Chain A
Amino acid sequence: MKPPFRTILVDETIRHHFLTNRLLSHAGGVRVVYADSECLDEIIQEQTLSYGKRMLHLSSPRGELVKPCPGTRKPYLCCRYTVINQVRQCPMDCSYCILQDYLSSPVTTLLIPLDPVWEEVDRMQKQEPERFFRFGTGELGDSLALDPWTSLSSEFMQYFAGRRNCLIEFKTKSDRIENAIKNPASNAVMSWSLNPPGIILDEEKGSASLERRLQAAKRCQDAGLLLGFHFDPLCFFTGWESKYKKLVRTLFDYVRPDRIAWISLGSLRYPPSLKNVSLKRFPRTSLFYHEMIRGLDGKMRYPRPMRIRLYRSLERIIRHHAKDIFLYFCMEPPWVWKAVLGAAPDGNAHLDYLFAENLYRRFPEIEMDEPKRERYG
């Protein structure tokens, strides 16, 4: 498969690392530039986002690699996810993507080696031995977009396989699962962000079609991997209700509810500064023109009654297909939880506990201790 890059920038210090060699051995025809980090930074700063997306930067580690998901401020609830930021930026180009505004570098960056990640995961687990950790690589980039060239999923699977009280989630909009299904770990969750085909076509440039995502999900399920689905961002558009209904029906045509670890719901939200950045790059998008309010965390979002309408509609159809599925909201206040689900977690720690409890009860193949409520805050 041809890599989605025109140029690969390689930091001299990791020139001979096995991950660099592996990636470059699959990158025939791509221009490779070796230089020191200062020189590469200058090249990177000169790129626009659209051009930067066609570059890959192999860099030595910088910044925090493993950290709690920044989530958002109270009163919105967040799930205490832990993010692994090994890849930053994404070769896909979604009009609503926060990374356009959030990251200063326009170039997709892969940080090599992985040892600092393993050390940090170890340290975190030792610090809280009785907590179940959910780690994920899909916060600052797509977990599998580069996988055919990096095989990072295999490295992560290998590291996490058999590791107690934790799991690793690969969040993607691609269908690049070949490496992941070779040696599936019982505590790995392959998850997809889903939207109706029209939104995928118009707003998620460079991502896999819905059909390809769901075919990939089915193959992961058949390989014994757990699945996750994120209906995020949910958007309002003409005919949204019937199109989301059809989307959920299609999802359950491909996968079995009992292999789904969780489903999340989250509506379109973004910092106000994203709008101009996105409209400049995607002048034809209409996502930002809907009724929006500035939320209590400063992010723009649909007014609460509209979000509740959106969630209720999705919840009803999901429950129709999967009655006992673990459903959660991303960045919603307790009163939205209550309005849609009839109950809300007491706080972020409680939500974290509910995840652990759900996994312990439904998936005995995950090696984990029985979670105790009192040990989650």
Chain B
Amino acid sequence: MNIRTVRYEEILQDFFFRFSSPSDLTDLKASIAAGGFETPLQVIASGKRYRIIAGFRRYEAARSLSLSNIPVRVWEPDSPVELFYRVLLAQRAQRSFTLIEKARVLLILDRLGEARGKARKRFLSILDLPFQEEILESIRAAAGLEQPVQEYIERLNLSLKMAQPLLGLDSRDQITLIQLADLLRIRGVELAEMVESIRDILGRKCLSLSRLLGTEPFKQIIHHRDWTPSQKRRRIHLALEERRNPGLRQVNEEIRRHCDQLGIPLFGNITWDQTLERPGVELRMRIHSSEEVDRAAGWLSDESLRSIWKHLLDSMS
């Protein structure tokens, strides 16, 4: 290992070991411009040139400052895995990795031939990942998502569970969805739930997401001028639920209709489990006087309403 200065062109541009996403360089550039490099880039020799292992942001800052020379610490090229391991350990001490970064690290390990055995296990512990191939496969797939989707996942620091539904969408649908998420300020769990609903509808109707969102009422909701993002979100959620569970919606509407026909007195109301998993309804009334007791009792024993009650309860099963 030695420290030396190399020319900018001597650095390989393949960024083989890069796993973090580009970020704002303003402060770093100011620091380098004022006092030079505090820490050299870590590189390994590759032929007559050098491959960066750590220091991609510093490299980019140097490039945008048009510096011709860059200080590097050159490591022996025979142990890139070990070096990469140390770089990750150092980074892990400062912050936790995003899902996208973990995905990129796994792909780097695959390319380094570290896809199997004990060697990989220690990498997984740095990444806080279980040694389960099914999960690792899903994480790797996150690195294949469209760039704006990756940025969205990183920006909101989504977990695999939250990002999983996005993995099943094609490129166009991914972009459409992220644009919508940004427009309506849909976040993590809410987005995952929305994608789940959409996938159910699409699976049934063989539609694409982009096409579904281009139909009514979604089109109208998304482009409505007077509604706030939160109002739009709520309306889209309801519209999706109606499309996802039309049978359930129909039964619930029927129950609602029967409730209206009952003409509940005393500002009373009827509630029920809208998934219909629990049978029956709950009737609530606020009674203040003995006259109101009589009124409630009269209403409950009204023979003319009996068939409506019967239809209401029958419609639940």
* Real binding pair: yes
Interface, chain A (partner B; CB < 8 A)? 42, 45-49, 104, 106, 275-277, 279-280, 286, 288-296, 303-306, 308, 333, 335, 339
User: Which of A48, A280, A308 sits near B317, CB closer than 8 Å?
Assistant: A308
Chain A residues with CB below 8 A from B251, complex form: 303, 305
| A48 CB contacts on chain B under 8 angstroms | 133-134, 137
Q: Report the nearest B residue to A285, measured CB to CB.
A: B203
Check if B113 is an interface residue, CB within 8 A of chain A.
no
A292, B201: Cα distance in complex, Å: 12
Among the 9-residue stretches B76-84, B242-250, B299-307, the one with 4 or more Cβ atoms under 8 Å from chain A is B242-250
Query: Are B203's CB and A303's CB within 8 A?
Result: no
Q: Compute how far the CA of A339 lies from the CA of B138 in the bound complex, rounded to whole angstroms.
A: 43
With CB as the reference atom, state the residue of chain B lying closest to A104.
B132
CB-CB under 8 A from B246, the residues of chain A are: 291
Given contacts A42-B117, A291-B247, contact A303 B134 (CB under 8 A): no
B271-293 interface mask toward A, CB cutoff 8 Å, 1 = contact, 0 = none? 00001111100000000000000
Which residues of the partner chain A approach B244 to less than 8 Å between Cβ atoms? 291
Closest A-chain residue to B202, C-beta based?
Answer: A289
Beta-carbon nearest neighbor of B121 in chain A: A42
B-side contacts of A295, CB under 8 Å? 275, 277
A48 to B245, CA, bound (A): 34
Whether the Cβ atoms of B133 and A288 lie closer than 8 Å is no
Alpha-carbon gap, A298 to B247, bound state (A): 20
Chain B contributes a number of interface residues (CB within 8 A of A) equal to 31
Chain A proximity of B44: nearest CB distance (Å): 28
Residues of B within 8 A of A291 (CB): 244-248
Closest to A297 in B: B277
CB atoms of B132 and A45 under 8 A apart: yes
A333 to B317, CA, bound (A): 13
Which residues of B in the span 245-264 have a Cβ within 8 Å of any Cβ on A? 245-248, 251
Using A42-B117, A286-B203, A293-B275 as known contacts, say yes or no to A106 and B245 having CB atoms under 8 A apart.
Answer: no
Measured CA separation A308–B317 after assembly (Å): 7
Q: How far is the CA of A279 from the CA of B278 in the complex (A)?
A: 29
**Interface check B111, CB cutoff 8 A:** no
Closest to B246 in A: A291
Q: Are A276 and B165 in contact (CB under 8 A)?
A: yes
Interface mask (B127-165 → A, CB under 8 Å = 1, otherwise 0)? 000011110011000000000000000000000000011
Q: A106 and B134 in contact (CB under 8 A), knowing A42-B118, A305-B316? A: yes
A-B contact list, 18 entries, CB within 8 Å? A42-B121, A48-B134, A104-B132, A275-B196, A276-B164, A276-B168, A286-B203, A288-B200, A289-B200, A291-B244, A292-B200, A303-B251, A303-B275, A304-B276, A305-B247, A308-B317, A335-B317, A339-B317
Minimum C-beta distance from B47 to chain A (A): 34
B248's closest neighbor in chain A, by CB?
A303
Which residues of chain B are within 8 angstroms of A335 by Cβ–Cβ distance?
A: 279, 317
Q: Which residue in B133, B164, B200, B278 is a CB contact (below 8 Å) of A45?
A: B133
B204 and chain A: residue at smallest CB distance: A289
Which residues from B are CB-within-8-Å of A280?
A: 138, 168
CA distance A295 to B278 in the complex (A): 9
Most buried by B among A49, A275, A289: A289
| Contact code string B19-45 (vs A, CB < 8 Å = 1, else 0) | 000000000000000000000000000
Q: Name the contact of B276 in the complex, choosing from A275, A277, A279, A293 (C-beta under 8 A).
A: A293
Q: Are A303 and B247 in contact (CB under 8 A)?
A: yes
Contacts of B48 in A (CB 8 A): none
- How far is the CB of B103 from the nearest CB of chain A, in Å? 16
**B95 adjacent to chain A (CB < 8 Å):** no
Q: Is B116 an interface residue (CB 8 A)?
A: yes
What residues of A have a CB within 8 angstroms of the CB of B204 in the complex?
286, 289-290
Counting chain B CB atoms within 10 Å of each CB, the highest count among A48, A292, A303 belongs to A303
Report Cα–Cα, A290/B248, bound state, in Å. Answer: 12
Could you say which residues of chain B place their CB within 8 Å of the CB of A279?
168
Taken together as a complex, chains A and B put the C-alpha atoms of A350 and B21 apart, in Å, by 61
Chain B positions within 8 Å of A46 at CB level: 116-117, 131, 133
Per-position contact with A for B179-207: 1 when CB-CB < 8 Å, else 0? Answer: 00000000000000000100110011000
- B200 and A303 contacting across the interface, CB-CB below 8 Å: no
A289 to B203, Cβ gap below 8 A? yes
Report Cα–Cα, A275/B168, bound state, in Å. Answer: 12
Contact of B277 among A47, A289, A296 (CB under 8 A): A296
| Set of chain A residues within 8 Å of B116, measured between Cβ atoms | 46
Which of A286, A288, A303 is within 8 Å of B245, CB to CB? A303
Q: A306–B117 contact, CB under 8 A?
A: no
Assuming the contacts A46-B133, A48-B133, A291-B246, asked whether A305 and B276 have C-beta atoms less than 8 A apart, the reply is: yes
Which residues of chain B are near A294, meaning CB under 8 Å?
A: 275
A residues in contact with B248, CB < 8 Å: 291, 293, 303
- B117 contacts across to A, CB distance below 8 A: 42, 46
Closest Cβ–Cβ distance, residue A315 to chain B (whole Å): 14
Residues 211-264 of B at the A interface (beta carbon under 8 Å): 244-248, 251
CB of A304 within 8 A of CB of B132, answer no
- Cα distance A106–B36 when bound, in Å? 53
Q: Which residues of A contact B275 (CB under 8 A)?
A: 293-295, 303
Q: How far is the CB of A74 from chain B (nearest CB, A)?
A: 12
Q: Are B164 and A305 in contact (CB under 8 A)?
A: no
Shortest C-beta distance, A269 to chain B (Å), equals: 12
Q: Nearest CB to that of A335 among chain B residues?
A: B279
Q: In the bound complex, do residue A293 and residue B277 qualify as a contact, i.e. CB atoms below 8 Å apart?
A: yes
Query: Chain A contacts of B276 at CB under 8 A?
Result: 293, 303-305
Contacts of B196 in A (CB 8 A): 275
Report the separation of the CA atoms of residues A339 and B315 in the bound assembly, to the nearest whole angstrom.
12
What are the 6 tightest A-B residue pairs by CB atom distance, in nearest-first order?
Answer: A289-B203, A293-B275, A45-B131, A289-B204, A335-B279, A291-B245
Q: A49–B200 Cα gap in the complex (Å)?
A: 24
Q: How far is the CA of A292 from the CA of B196 in the complex (A)?
A: 12
